[in-house]
Amino acid sequence: MDNTFLFIIEVIGTIAFAISGIRMAASKRFDWFGAYIVGLVTAIGGGTLRDVLLDAPVFWMQTWWYLAVTGLSLAFVIIFRQSLVKNLRALLLFDTIGLALFVVIGIQKSLAFNFPIWVAIAMGMITGAFGGVIRDILINEEPRFFREDVYATACLAGGGVYWLTLECGGSEISQQLLCAATVIFLRWCAIKYSWQLPILKHDND
Amino acid sequence: MDNTFLFIIEVIGTIAFAISGIRMAASKRFDWFGAYIVGLVTAIGGGTLRDVLLDAPVFWMQTWWYLAVTGLSLAFVIIFRQSLVKNLRALLLFDTIGLALFVVIGIQKSLAFNFPIWVAIAMGMITGAFGGVIRDILINEEPRFFREDVYATACLAGGGVYWLTLECGGSEISQQLLCAATVIFLRWCAIKYSWQLPILKHDND
Amino acid sequence: MDNTFLFIIEVIGTIAFAISGIRMAASKRFDWFGAYIVGLVTAIGGGTLRDVLLDAPVFWMQTWWYLAVTGLSLAFVIIFRQSLVKNLRALLLFDTIGLALFVVIGIQKSLAFNFPIWVAIAMGMITGAFGGVIRDILINEEPRFFREDVYATACLAGGGVYWLTLECGGSEISQQLLCAATVIFLRWCAIKYSWQLPILKHDND
């Protein structure tokens, strides 16, 4: 029951990530197949890197759901393009929820493979944020997360809250909820108030 | 005997892929070593990604043949540059045969590691098409396969034919032959008739 | 004792690699977090690729030292930016020593995992040179090592000397020292005398 709920949210997150990748591919005039691959990489790239680093079986090779859901996302973008543009806020909401859940999943999987908590936090960040990095590498753009906003940092902060709750003896469900809430809250504030990390100064500044 | 034949074709495919990578490096004025690496990545990049995802031993680390053959390809390009330009059609032929064989190898290896057929088809496509993607990432160009022509799609179609033949109870050799023939046929048609997948429309269109 | 010495040099090499990555991030006006990631990837990227290819446990996930040392490097760059500019030669010295040690570590780890010496030499080169390649991919620049100077080639030459010493029955410490000395010597000469490998000619030349 609990797992079904998590799986539904993960699918929603996958769709949101895939759609964001597909829309970016569309803005570059890729063909349908290229757009599918970019959407797929956005959705599963972070988790794939995590699984390779953990030496765990790669998650999307265990069930065809992820490939299918990305295909549905592509069909959705092709058919409902007009309505999508009017609902960017909803997309952003799904994207943020997906991000939070991906962080939680990354942390839990790492702990289940007996890695220490600091590795788990790093893997939570990689699961949430590196799909976008690999997407940007593929479409030959500078990864946005190096500049634009508090994205990966929100993932790390969520991981820190997970750790704190763990240390304070909170239940597993409270660890997950507080971690996800932190990611969502920080990400939302960052967008609303245009938060930014300080820029690194260079010799010529 | 059969394996010797397959190995010979694989070496020819490796040479064709390596030469295409080296020629692209030459057009960017890389030095010899850089050209060797770009040629190598083009030839073995897809199979390496496949083996990492399957958690299989990386194939080119089992025998020095692949590194040696890439070295020979580099020497060949340096010495016979003039003749190469006049024989681009022959190169394209080898390249297409190599692609078809890489797809077959990717599918077979995945099945041998007990993955389901849909994973095998994805790995066939990765084996054939992702060497070029990694090459384009390395030389900092937008991967061609997102736009240019029916390349990865031909790999997928070949995988589909493999599956069909498998389901219909065809022998292993017929699965391989029909899969390879499909890839070669589609790739050849795509070049001859300039086939293209539909482009994804964007908001501003 | 011996291991402590090696570990200290490895930390120095990590710091030098991280600082070079962070400085490059600064020149692109990344924020602090982006700079940390670029520094980290420069320092641990080559070893990570090596461990994934060897199917070995990823080294930086076994101890938090590497992440911590990269954080210290970032703090160092932020605080002592002015002094750094005046000590670029010292940085380059550390960087070269780090490179040599990374090559030795890559070779030894591969041999410890029972790979043949030619795989070990390739892994030594990957450990030393591919952190920079992955960094350049991340910041969306063409990898420098394809053009600029005798960098990866020095790693390979060091690996060759390691092999020679091994074949001639030299002790392990002499293998390591001669390998490291070769890398440092060649790298230093390449910078001092602007050595370059020949450029590959292209059809239009």
pLDDT in tens, A82-120: 777 677 777 788 788 889 999 999 999 999 999 999 999
Mean pLDDT of A121-133: 93
The pLDDT of residue B1 is 40
User: Across the B/C interface, how many CB contacts are shorter than 8 Å?
Assistant: 76
A94 and A87 in contact (C-beta within 8 Å)? Answer: no
- Check residues C94 and B175 and name the one with the higher pLDDT: B175
The pLDDT of residue A168 is 92
Asked if the model's pLDDT at residue A156 lies above 90, the reply is: yes
Q: CA-CA distance, B148 to B145, in Å (whole number)?
A: 6
Mean pLDDT of B103-130: 94
The pLDDT of residue A203 is 59
Mean pLDDT of A22-41: 88
Residue written as tokens 């210290």?
A: C72
The pLDDT of residue C202 is 66
**Average pLDDT in chain C:** 87
Q: CA-CA distance, B186 to B195, in Å (whole number)?
A: 9
Around Cβ A138, how many Cβ atoms within 10 Å? 22
Is C67–A122 a contact, with Cβ atoms under 8 angstroms apart? Answer: yes
Is A57–B53 a contact, with Cβ atoms under 8 angstroms apart? Answer: no
Mean pLDDT of C36-50: 95
Mean pLDDT of A112-131: 95
Kindly list the distances between the CA atom of residue C55 and the CA atoms of A48, A122, A127, B58, C129, in Å, as whole numbers in the listed order: 15, 20, 20, 9, 19
Residue ranges of alpha helices (H) inside A59-171 are 65-79, 81-86, 88-112, 117-138, 152-167
**B138 touching chain A per CB within 8 A:** no
**B137 touching chain A per CB within 8 A:** yes
A154 and A191 in contact (C-beta within 8 Å)? Answer: no
Mean pLDDT of C71-77: 93
Is A197–C33 a contact, with Cβ atoms under 8 angstroms apart? Answer: yes
From the list A53, A147, A203, which residue is nearest C31 (CB)? A147
The pLDDT of residue A96 is 87
Encoded tokens for B140: 């900092």
The pLDDT of residue A115 is 96
**Where is C182: in which H helix or E strand?**
helix C172-192
Mean pLDDT of C67-85: 87
**Where is B137: in which H helix or E strand?**
helix B117-138
- 3 state SS of B75: helix
Measure in Å the smallest separation between the Cα of B34 and chain C Cα atoms: 4
The pLDDT of residue A148 is 63
From the list C140, C200, C203, which residue is nearest B30 (CB)? C200
Q: CA-CA distance, A94 to A92, in Å (whole number)?
A: 5
Mean pLDDT of C95-107: 91
Mean pLDDT of B30-55: 93
Is B28–C146 a contact, with Cβ atoms under 8 angstroms apart? Answer: yes
The pLDDT of residue B203 is 59
Asked if the model's pLDDT at residue C201 lies above 80, the reply is: no
Mutate to test the interface with A, among B126, B130, B142, B146 (most CBs of A within 10 A): B146
Mutate to test the interface with A, among C29, C33, C51 (most CBs of A within 10 A): C33
The DSSP code for B199 is: B
Is C81–A115 a contact, with Cβ atoms under 8 angstroms apart? Answer: no
- Check residues B84 and A80 and name the one with the higher pLDDT: A80
Q: CA-CA distance, A38 to A22, in Å (whole number)?
A: 6
The pLDDT of residue C92 is 82
Sorting pLDDT into bands at 50, 70 and 90, what band is C115? very high
User: Across the A/C interface, how many CB contacts are shorter than 8 Å?
Assistant: 76
**A55 touching chain B per CB within 8 A:** yes
Kindly list the distances between the CA atom of residue A18 and the CA atoms of A132, A141, A149, C139, in Å, as whole numbers in the listed order: 10, 18, 20, 23
The pLDDT of residue A38 is 93
Asked if the model's pLDDT at residue B63 lies above 50, the reply is: yes
Encoded tokens for A109: 């999987």
Asked if the model's pLDDT at residue B70 lies above 90, the reply is: yes
- 3 state SS of B39: helix
**A52 touching chain B per CB within 8 A:** yes
Mean pLDDT of C153-159: 93
**B145 touching chain A per CB within 8 A:** yes
Mean pLDDT of C157-186: 92
Asked if the model's pLDDT at residue C1 lies above 50, the reply is: no
**A48 touching chain B per CB within 8 A:** yes
Is B33–C196 a contact, with Cβ atoms under 8 angstroms apart? Answer: no
Sorting pLDDT into bands at 50, 70 and 90, what band is C4? confident
Q: Which of A65-79, B82-96, C18-32, C119-133 has the lowest mean pLDDT?
A: B82-96
Give contacts of C146 with chain B, Cβ < 8 Å: 25, 28, 30-31, 33-34, 37-38, 138-139
**Average pLDDT in chain B:** 87
Asked if the model's pLDDT at residue C205 lies above 60, the reply is: no
CA dihedral A137, A141, A146, A152 (to 10 degrees): -50
A84 and A77 in contact (C-beta within 8 Å)? Answer: yes
